[in-house]
Amino acid sequence: MEQNNKYTFTVARIAALFPDDLSEKLAFVQRELGGEVYLVGGSVRDLLLGRQPGDLDLTVPRNAEQWAERLRDITGGTYVELGREEDAARVVLRQGLDVDFSSFRAGARTIEEDLEKRDITVNALAVPVHDLLTGRCQDQDKLPVLDSIGGLADLEQQRVRVVGKKSFSDDPLRMLRVFRFAAVLDFTVEPDTLEQVRRQRASIDRVAKERVAYELDLIMASPSAHRAFAETRECGLLWQILPELQAGQGMEQPASHHLDVFEHCLEALGQMEQILASLDRYFPESQAVMAAYLHSKRRRVQMKWAALLHDVGKPFTYGINEKKGGR
């Protein structure tokens, strides 16, 4: 396990992530259930990017659901089961903070093995916090970032890379998550990862539609949805998910258009993103009204979907009338 001295956090910095007396309550659960505790995934990634994590992702060797149940009992928070196939659960605290617990994945016996079973390398990072919870370290002491598969280097290079050759077969939804994280983080997707998506794209059909829809909405909520959809098109994943869009590829349009139906829809999405990012430029006299209307993130997502899908029905109602100037 790589422990690069360049990537460490003081105990005080990690402890600041735990509001009020949360660390004491977690320490109480640890005394009951025992074992190591790691801060993992997006929480570590966001810290390294200088961002405040939106929630806490904690991994324990086993009994994640018991950890969540005990924390719920102590804090009065709300318990949420996360998936039926994994030992994972969430506690929503009254402060609005989510604490997610997961056990080592798919029979992993160590944190190294667990990280190697995750989706992308920049999410496969961990910081041990068990000594922090038990009070065995001081505020100025350093906690290392654990990295067994090169996630730190990929973070520096702003690169999204799949963890391993089996990552997509273990959960095909990870193919879509690759593009979601690239869009949210403004990273590029590593070429071999793109090739793996291209080869395995048909397996996305095994994933529940609700999970796919959730990831698509997260992509649309990012500022780079246009780029993400263009990339999913290049590797063929978009056609597996939204074949209705593929019907517009290469489809002739009236003379007033310079793009085929699909490229026109994709360009409309790109233009919508530009508008949403610069309301003052496009609506100088009514910026306040538009900003109020588009204040909701959900509404902005809906506007992007409307742009991408506005001509999706054309291939099925297609016709050009030469008597009306080729319209």
Report strand pairing: 126-128 vs 38-40: antiparallel
Residue 293: count of CB within 10 angstroms of its CB: 13
Ordered by start, the domain boundaries in the chain are 1-155, 242-324
Contacts of 178 (CB under 8 A, 6+ apart): 119, 120, 160, 162, 189, 193, 197
Low-confidence ranges of the chain (pLDDT < 50): 1-5
What's the confidence (pLDDT) of residue 130?
Answer: 93
Q: How far apart are CA 43 and CA 57, in angstroms?
A: 6
Q: How far apart are CA 180 and CA 219, in angstroms?
A: 5
Q: How far apart are CA 8 and CA 13, in angstroms?
A: 10
**Alpha-carbon dihedral sign for residues 132, 137, 139, 145:** negative
How many Cα neighbours within 13 Å face the side chain of 237?
A: 29
What's the confidence (pLDDT) of residue 1?
Answer: 44
What's the confidence (pLDDT) of residue 2?
Answer: 47
Instruction: Return the CATH architecture of domain 1-155.
Output: 2-Layer Sandwich (3.30)
What's the confidence (pLDDT) of residue 320?
Answer: 61
The two most distant CA atoms of the chain are separated, in Å, by: 84
Please state the length of the chain.
327
Crossing angle between the packed helical segments 64-75 and 22-33, to the nearest 10 degrees: 130
CA-based end-to-end distance of the chain = 64
Q: Give residue 178's region: left, alpha or beta (phi > 0; psi -120 to 50).
A: alpha
